Amino acid sequence: MSQNVYDILQERGFIEQCTDEENLRKLFEKERVKFYIGFDATADSLTAGHFLTIMAMMHMQRAGHIPIALLGGGTTMIGDPSAKSDMRKMMTKETIDHNAQCFHKQLSKFLKFDNESALVRNNADWLLSMNYVEMLREIGVHFTVNRMLAAECYKQRWERGLTFFELNYMIMQSFDFYKLYKDDGCKLQMGGNDQWSNIIGGVELIRRKEQGEAYGLTLKLLTTSDGIKMGKTMKGALWLDPEKTSPYEFFQYWRNIEDVKVEECLGLLTFLPMEEVRRLGALQGSEINKAKEILAFEITKTVHGEEEATKSLEAARAIFKNGGISDDMPTVNYTRADIESGKDIITVLSDMKLIKTRSEGRRLINDGGVTLNDDKVTDPSLTLSDKDFNENGIAILRKGKKIVFKIQLN
RNA sequence: GGGCGAAUUCCCGAGUGGCCAAAGGGGGCAGACUGUAAAUCUGCUAGCGAUGCUUUCGAUGGUUCAAAUCCAUCUUCGCCCA
């Protein structure tokens, strides 16, 4: 432990708020600190937003501390009302369990859960069996409603209406921290900055019930320069599951990041040394494209492995630098029979999932957004034929400037 | 429990009998310009076998030649009073 991990996180830009910086730094020097981050099981895959917190966990683990990944099997039954304008749809127990399993599997790619260097817990194990009256007597007495309502994260909901049901989310999350503190000796909770009030709730609960010393630390949220949450694509979230977002798509997302975000993302989402991060972030003009390529490669490498990262990089270079063809670019396979029975261009776009409806396809063609083998498609009823394919049975279809598909004829 | 008000397309938000597939903005997509960036300008933005047809303005039923718009009931939400 040569360098205090607090300095590492701070230098890389992770830290937003901390309950007690001075004593937390001391704690990091004194012992291997057990800390936790909660993941509510709202979908069947983690997203780029989660990845940032996972990076923080990995930095902590590298520094010798012990991450606890807390799956929100219990808290997801309610749903965090923070910064949401509406109540989330209620999810069934089965869906939540399934999602939690998916999370566990994905997290295992980044952290080794061997009960030694990293642990997993699921708050369903203690929250679901909880007795209401007991809970009120043990935990509820330590919370004042006015205090809770003053929390920044409920402000928005305060105007639109917040149910008692959702108000309990904070209490449950606070209890989680208390439980992990008692059972596992967890002394620190980390989370996105929108979790600040929920985290404080736990820190205070531990102090009130146990006179215990616990800390909270929140992390920067990834946003675009407009302040919008980063990691949204036209298809929705940027998933870590390669079945939901292909490694190539994932790579391209980071390759296309805004200039001003490059240095921040390099610090947060890669393990490159900070001198390198600063050097790359300072590149001017079109030079910064080199930095973006490295950024995309490094993140893809961590998430999908070096092999996929290399493939994505090469496919991107082939497509953009040489206007060429690569084995690893997105591909759709057709048989001769498909062509003979007639594949019109809109069906092809639809097969590639580039359009949701045929009308959208027609519009796109009218706008001049579709190119087949370097020729702009002007006729929406155009049907693929043998002459559109080269000697290797390949045709290239573009949507806009950045999306390129290979059509392979077998 | 009583009174009042609201619900519109991806989001915000106009529209109070036909000219409404529904203004405006945001977001998204495409074109121009560029560096696979930002900014800017322009076009598009319910669906379909498309000069037409079908479905959409919380739900159901009704009035009318004609309903997002009027009436009734219901649901949800907000505000005020208890």
Quick: pLDDT tens for A286-314: 999 999 999 999 999 999 999 999 999 99
Q: Is the CB of A285 under 7 A from strand B?
A: yes
DSSP string covering A207-228, please? HHHH----EEEEEPPPB-TTSP
Q: Which nucleotide is nearest to A370 (CA to C1')?
A: B30
pLDDT band at A251 (very low <50, low <70, confident <90, very high): very high
Task: For tokens 């999370």, name the residue.
Answer: A103
Q: Which helix (H) or strand (E) holds A34?
A: strand A34-39
Work out the average pLDDT over A45-62: 94
Q: Is the CB of A399 under 7 A from strand B?
A: yes
Work out the average pLDDT over A348-357: 92
What is the residue-averaged pLDDT of chain A?
A: 90
Q: What is the DSSP letter of A114?
A: S
- pLDDT attached to residue A137: 92
- pLDDT value at A83 more than 60: no
Q: How far is CA A368 from CA A19, A122, A234, A364, A375, in A?
A: 55, 51, 19, 6, 10
Q: Which nucleotide is nearest to A402 (CA to C1')?
A: B36
CA of A357 to C1' of B22 (A): 21
- pLDDT value at A56 more than 90: yes
For residue range A200-220, list pLDDT tens digits in order: 999 999 999 999 999 999 999
CA of A84 to C1' of B11 (A): 13
The least confident of A13-22, A200-209, A318-327, A334-343 is: A318-327
- pLDDT value at A232 more than 70: no
- pLDDT attached to residue A226: 65
Residue A358 in contact with residue A348, Cβ under 8 Å? no
Task: For tokens 């895959």, name the residue.
Answer: A45
- pLDDT attached to residue A160: 61
For residue range A358-388, list pLDDT tens digits in order: 999 999 999 999 999 989 999 989 999 988 9
Work out the average pLDDT over A135-159: 79
Q: Is the CB of A374 under 7 A from strand B?
A: no
pLDDT band at A78 (very low <50, low <70, confident <90, very high): confident
Work out the average pLDDT over A62-70: 96
pLDDT band at A403 (very low <50, low <70, confident <90, very high): very high
CA of A163 to C1' of B17 (A): 39
Give the pairing of strands A370-372 and A375-376.
Answer: antiparallel
Q: Is the CB of A256 under 7 A from strand B?
A: yes
- pLDDT value at A26 more than 80: yes
Q: Which helix (H) or strand (E) holds A345?
A: helix A345-351
- pLDDT attached to residue A231: 65
Q: Does the ipTM surpass 0.90? A: no
Work out the average pLDDT over A138-166: 76
pLDDT band at A325 (very low <50, low <70, confident <90, very high): confident
φ, ψ for residue A275 (rounded to 5)? Answer: -60, -40
* Higher pLDDT, residue A68 or A92: A68
- pLDDT value at A38 more than 80: yes
pTM for the model stands at 0.91
